[in-house]
């Protein structure tokens, strides 16, 4: 019997009720369903004195999931998708993202299209698009203190009420550079439309094999976003006497101390997104972020002459 996964944001009533419906339909169609909570991919924020990620990023994979599963359906918003990516990428299971949240930038299907989506799943009428993920490790000497998989970005920044920070950043074999800023963001192409975009970075199409470095509130006009090959590992040394806060995909992180370094590299395990139709990235940008929309027309003269 073919096996599929069901990853559910069980903190949302709509996601739970939709998951019940999907599980019943897939079981009736002869599929075996392994249902888990998306909370298994929420790493959280580590106590700075503990090595919570010592088992590595594969620790997020649910015990009931394996490489033989055909796919996993994900019910929730974009945060749920980020968690599900950590749960499935290490074993190569494709995920079909069904939005029951708000923006749904990473969603492939919506509730109004649920019947059609399930019919395509049962019939096997879908393709897979791979997107790169990052491995983020906090190192102290040769010891790995913390590690997690990342789909969007790693942000390393100062804590509130502390001064501006300096970061020494080494990209592959190239000479290190020094950046003075409130923080730095290292993002994948998928993450270029998230925090990095808010910090002034460019949008990168998902098929580009690159990483992006974006300063946060840089102290120099010369410090701008940099795009470079994802074959180059990146090491960030916090050249500041205070501890810093690292946040990964908005739901994982830990403190980084002056004696630590952050290593970011492309993972050998991409996240595999199920596509039910041709994925038009520019259309997603237009629908979700308003990219490329026509300029709003100027007000008529009658409105322009009206008193304020």
Tokens of 165: 């920070």
- What are 264's strand-pairing partners? 136, 234
Query: Is 79 annotated to bind ligand?
Result: yes
Query: Is 198 annotated to bind ligand?
Result: yes
Tokens of 38: 């998306």
Query: Is 193 annotated to bind ligand?
Result: yes
Query: Is 278 annotated to bind ligand?
Result: no
Query: Is 182 annotated to bind ligand?
Result: yes
Backbone phi and psi for residue 199, each to the nearest 5 degrees, phi listed first? -90, 5
Query: Is 194 annotated to bind ligand?
Result: yes
Q: Mark whether 78 is an active-site residue.
A: yes
The Cα 113–Cα 110 span in angstroms is 5
Of 20, 78, 115, 178, catalytic: 78
Query: Is 15 annotated to bind ligand?
Result: no
Query: Is 217 annotated to bind ligand?
Result: yes
Q: Report, as residue numbers or ranges, the catalytic residues.
A: 78
- Residue list, annotated binding site for NAD(+): 78-79, 152-153, 182, 193-198, 217
- Residue list, annotated binding site: 78-79, 152-153, 182, 193-198, 217
């Amino acid at each position: 019997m073919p096996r599929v996964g069901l990853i559910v944001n069980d903190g949302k009533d709509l996601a739970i009720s939709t998951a019940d419906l999907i599980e019943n339909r897939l079981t009736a169609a002869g599929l075996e369903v392994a249902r888990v909570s998306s909370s298994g991919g929420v790493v959280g924020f580590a106590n700075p004195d503990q090595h919570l990620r010592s088992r590595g990023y594969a620790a997020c994979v649910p015990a009931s999931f394996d490489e033989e599963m055909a796919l996993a359906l994900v019910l929730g918003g974009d945060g749920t998708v980020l968690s599900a990516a950590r749960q499935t990428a290490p074993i190569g299971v494709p995920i079909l993202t069904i939005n029951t949240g708000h923006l749904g930038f990473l969603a492939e299907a919506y509730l109004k299209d649920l019947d059609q989506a399930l019919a395509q799943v049962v019939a096997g009428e879908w393709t897979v698009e791979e997107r790169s993920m990052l491995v983020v490790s906090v190192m102290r000497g040769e010891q790995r203190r913390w590690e997690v998989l990342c789909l969007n970005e790693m942000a390393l920044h100062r804590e509130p009420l502390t001064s501006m920070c300096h970061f020494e950043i080494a990209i592959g074999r190239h000479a290190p550079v020094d950046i003075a800023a409130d923080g730095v963001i290292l993002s994948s192409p998928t993450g270029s439309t998230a925090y990095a975009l808010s910090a002034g970075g460019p949008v990168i199409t998902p098929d580009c094999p690159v990483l992006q470095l974006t300063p946060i509130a840089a102290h120099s006009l010369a410090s701008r976003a940099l795009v470079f090959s994802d074959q180059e590992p990146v090491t960030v040394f916090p050249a500041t006497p205070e501890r810093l806060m690292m946040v990964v995909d908005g739901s994982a992180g830990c403190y980084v101390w002056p004696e630590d370094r952050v290593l970011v590299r492309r993972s050998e395990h991409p996240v595999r997104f199920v596509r039910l139709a041709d994925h038009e990235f520019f259309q997603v940008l237009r629908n979700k972020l308003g990219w490329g929309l026509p300029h709003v027309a100027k007000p008529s003269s009658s409105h322009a002459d009206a008193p304020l």
